[in-house]
Amino acid sequence: MKQKISKIPNPVVELSSLEDFKPFDGFKAKLVHTKTQTYAFWEIKKDSVLPGHQHINEQVSIVTKGVLELTIGDTTTEMKPGMVAVIPPNTYHSGRALSDVEITDIFSPIREDFPQN
């Protein structure tokens, strides 16, 4: 008996084909969700503020362009390209763009409060 092979959807995503997610003034992201993680590719305008918050997700933030002032708990750091921040679950954090910024955030588990593709 011939085994039926299920069709695998294309695993490649073109970011430009995705809708923008704009949760705050000056913040725009393209979101990619996997079974266990959310990837957010952010463009943040200079002087935009990320309000303080926390969530159940572990977050890894990678700055690829610009300077982001990031506060995690009581520690504030000027994040520049090539810097990576690891934010534990349920840890209060906030930020402010000191220039135009591009940053990639990886969340685990997925951010169910973000729009799903």
Tell me the domain boundaries of the chain: 37-108
Phi and psi for 93 in degrees, rounded to 5? -150, 160
Cα 68 to Cα 40: distance, rounded to the nearest angstrom: 16
Integer CA distances (angstroms), 29 to 25, 53, 96, in order: 12, 18, 16
DSSP assignment letter at 83: -
Pick the CATH number of 37-108 from 3.50.50.60, 2.60.40.10, 1.10.340.30, 2.60.120.10: 2.60.120.10
Residue in 102, 56, 107 with CA at minimum distance from that of residue 83: 102
CA atoms 100, 103, 109, 114: torsion sign: positive
Which residues of the chain, if any, have pLDDT below 70? 1-9, 117
pLDDT of residue 10: 74
Those residues whose C-beta lies under 8 Å from the C-beta of residue 99, and which sit 6 or more positions away, are 46, 66, 67
